Structure 1
């Protein structure tokens, strides 16, 4: 043995899986939070004897702890809850570019609907359409003689054209609104996953800090007790 390592270079043995692993993937028993230690006790009551637990088994215990906590608070786990649990287990990120992800799903008809709806709600469409209306009315009321007017008052042909434009434009606008609702729903799901993971991670940090503070206080108490015993021994030697 050299510095706590064996000849194969391993620092210790995991109390759950029994593998001999290097120190970088092992966690001392004293540093495991009580909530996770309780779950490990349920799977293997003798896991503390080796003094270590590997990172994989600790991650599995963390996953089980999060799943149990969410079940107690929310009841049945949803698809989004399981996605958060998987990201914690694999130490992955959940933040995605919703705009790029949604744009990749859009087909030609979806993009065309968005462009038509965007143009129909712009000042360019309003001003150009107003110019066409004024020119149409002026052309059929002022410029030409009565015999040459192709759409005399009350402009029946103009009403037909406006009705056709409205009938065609309305479905495009509805399609674009439906796509916007789907985009908002995707963005809301992403925000929910990120917020839930952040909440769970913050809880883990609080539990870990509380555990470390308790352990530090216990060690300080032990050191103080040893110092008191040493002082008592010195006092007895002086008196003797």
Structure 2
């Protein structure tokens, strides 16, 4: 529930009584004269669970050139060992067509794909949070501009009233 000062400010600036939580938050910050901007990354990091952070790390590693190059070298070494070196002594544990390697790659893909999707979902949530925080800041800026216009309009009206009163007094004296 919004307090009475927030409802009064909402009626004056927004022209409505029923506020969504974001609008009430912005108006409360205006009345308290507190800043509203926050870093979306910091807010998202505070809300992140262990699983979220783990998914982000796995996606960061799995989507890097270092991983791709390193993994390619491991695959190449596996194939060379099992096709030439170890086969020469009859010790190849996964000879061509590398059935065990295919099993490992399939398992890795089956685990890595959902983890990367979790990270993408988290990034989408972070983007939605950033948009929400941007909306709050934009609303705050717009409302502050409206308040400044009100103050300027009031000052201009008072100045015009004084000028009119001075002109009327001078006409009456003449």
- The TM-score with structure 2 as length reference comes to 0.85
Contact 2:13 2:143 survives alignment (8 Å): no
Pick the aligned partner of 2:155 from 206, 212, 218.
212
Give me the whole-angstrom Cα distance separating, in 1, the residues matched to 2:166 and 2:12: 37
Structure 1, unmatched stretches of 5+, are 1-58, 233-240
Equivalent position of 1:143 in the other structure: 85
Pick the aligned partner of 1:173 from 116, 121, 124.
116
CA positional deviation for 1:113:
1.6
Equivalent position of 2:36 in the other structure: 94
- Tell me the C-alpha RMSD between the 2 structures: 2.3
Q: Number of aligned pairs?
A: 170
1:154 aligns with 2:97: yes
CA deviation profile, 1:52-71 (whole Å, cap 9, x unmatched): xxxxxxx93x7514246535
CA positional deviation for 1:76:
4.9
SS at match of 1:94: coil
Give me the whole-angstrom Cα distance separating, in 2, the residues matched to 1:67 and 1:183: 32
CA positional deviation for 1:139:
1.6
Give me the whole-angstrom Cα distance separating, in 2, the residues matched to 1:68 and 1:216: 23
Structure of higher RCO (CA pairs closer than 8 Å, 6+ residues apart): 2
Equivalent position of 1:66 in the other structure: 10
CA deviation profile, 1:59-94 (whole Å, cap 9, x unmatched): 93x75142465354xx85211111112222222221
Give me the whole-angstrom Cα distance separating, in 2, the residues matched to 1:141 and 1:78: 66
- The TM-score with structure 1 as length reference comes to 0.63
Query: Using a 3 Å threshold, how does the CA distance of structure 1 residues 141 and 67 change in structure 2: closer, same or farther?
Result: farther
